[in-house]
Chain A
């Protein structure tokens, strides 16, 4: 069994981080340059970590599989970033942001980590403004805010509908500065395919160059993974096509525990699926719920009528009806399930019946079309490009889609995994969002981890490692890991079967969506646990990966990632099956209140399930980290 010590500092909650920073070990400035740190990924968490660590004097190597660090999928985040600035004078505070996040996560996150996140949130805004991030401003020149789901204050900062892009370009500019200064070595087209563990510590990675096919070894004193989430296990999602789980999955197979893998966020406002060829679902930002009203017809006979012809009295604004105090701004998991329920009742709109209206006619009446365009113009444009429909004239049709994964590699308070020397940041870790993430909190967490947590906590580990004591890349562990990577590549190319990789990815996605999606039950999950291993077997018997390993080969890249998804999907279903309760995104049909809300079982499941790899073909071990709430009282989450 893995040792899961969260290393939560003692003392009162609000003083833990301050005290921890004062207590942890430091590396003296002259020694910092003797330490090499590998950062995998250059999204918000990776780029901010690489830039900040290089400023401290560490020698940093940053690896990205994209052609440029500016392509990471953080760039696609639309709506905003939360921070407890209380600029609106509406009663926000560090405590309130902390409390909203813990409650929003349905009491399945670690209290101490979340409090720290809320504490550093205000620094993030300062940092980004100093870098030149052009946040939206009021006429007086001060920063503007808007509201997001799960909060009753306005604490979200934004840059039109492109907040993630602007924050990422800020972090990328800091990264670029570090590269120019010679403190960061950037390797693009570099995909991490294994973690190298020497003497029980993470000391390097194996990388394949996606242009030349060359496989290389890289040693370091610590490895930081900021490789994002694994939602593409569902095939159709709002993720970029390249987003994948390979780095974290290979680290899992090297001993890092995978925490709460079944916690996947289904975002309520996405453009519905149109056909089998579809590669991508596009998000319509949650910020739209500030001004858009969600409804379906009261009677299913009206579901195919033009929306304008459905009289006001015949419409069911179901979120406003069921959750009057939060209305259209209730959290994502709650809004998604409510949409599923009305569609299950046969009241879903559009040809497929899998859609609800997001209607701006009230907002247009109040603000005028130009006022709505000013706030959301680019989102309306995206909607028009994809659907060929004008949302200023008729309501948008939306449906939930996979958007984020709260689960990820287990980390302690220092963001270090149970493998010493391996740190995990951003969406790739599990720590801050519990069973449901609130809108505009992913950007906050990525930048908190990279700018304001890891610069302190990595030193606490490195101080225990002698300067320049990292192993050489000719060590046996590196050779063995490289041989493993090359063997898997060879195996994928040698199957020469009938089906392209996408065939298996689509089928896996169907299984995951039906049995491990918005609603889950024992029978379905057990069926998935039969079907996924069978599909995996079929993949290895009949996948067709053309080309060679010695050139750019996009089919090979995809094949390796889908092979990992075919294993991870099984772990997600196993996790969902063993968590015999409903919480946040994890809705087990067996565990619900009569009104259809989640029924948690705090007596038996107020814990993190951290799965440990036990070897190929053997059942993984379910380790448990109990969640202890000292400051917040666990209660039934209520948005009514």
Chain B
């Protein structure tokens, strides 16, 4: 008997089919690995909106059209601004795709009819390519244009992503709205000087992140403009983002003497410098009342008509101040928690420093202080990582016997491990209990007896400076990004900072990168750039422009101007 032999190929095929039946996941097994979309009833208003969408109009464009119809031109413009949609008045830039998708430029006889239709509905054809017609059309005519038989689809133009980084603060402050305005009765332009420590890498950014050319000057003794420091470059980038047409002058220094020379040079420039962006602060150089050598430089610049925009400082969590208190009579200051060591935690590999000054500067003559006759000393300790033992690391025992400045400082120590550090204040000789002001550096969080009030760095205390605090670009009131921002009042009880501005923003410099530029250093050039931007656009005086900015600031914190946010968060459009 002849048996039928199974064809091996047929056998493999059958096994494969069987395997597929066995292993193709069922609906139930799919649910385990991939959640189902929400049921339609959960879509709520979204589903309703989707039902009425015109399939021939791109969603965002359709939304713009609906907002325009339902809420008016202002709301449509605001929406367009947020979405980066090109508007000119009440006209929107659109691309009409012909129903004849395979047309090329030379084989597009419908183009003439489409162009004529666009013109008939009040639009203007800008350019055509193949089956695409780019035009500006009234927002109100978007639906009408989509219904034209030759239009297959109506959309917003695609846009390339430029290889550049723009600060998020540009849009969050609405500077972008101002950038698109044609100057009104003003052709003067604006000149901004970035006075900083260094501008590493700036040359590679010319023409992209920075203007194609900038004026430069170094007052450092080594003449290095870059100075291995990218901070100034990042600040300049933000100014260019805010005020793309402003001329930039980059100036650096490294000491107070170089600082003075730099300011004198800036004040005498032609064309005149309008704004100095100063994301720099100084510890222990003056009494916090707007006097002293650095504040004098600010005054001099202001007297020559320059607006000095100064970072408030990032030291709200690093600051303590209080009147010397020694209830046990051992000459060591007892901090409010009773401890004689003000402790702060420093992560490994951070630099540690401490700066002490007290309210005995004497009289400021315009060039110097008369000096202090109360003598306090500063001690720096570190704590064992395995026990509660404190070890003395360093001390500063400067003499104050009548003419010296009331200041002591210690730094910079390298914290080889994550550990507690601490400072002690010792009364050497004093005729009165002076008010101590202490700044620390290196701490990862607030120091034990932290007093945020009065934590401004010099020259943010200057009456001639616009002091700038930091808020988060994405949310003005967002914690904890602005808790470090130095607070007023000044030591003569004036409200500072004056304004707050976006921080935690992006810049191209690799040191900072995406959303990496934080602090009042980042906030300051936003304000400087905003002043320059308005200076370019409107014929207001610099003083008026600043008043405009203060008036538009979004009030935060305590109602009215306060010592945390100043007049509020920088906003360039009416709220």
A and B physically associate: no
Task: State the B residues within 8 Å of A (CB).
Answer: none
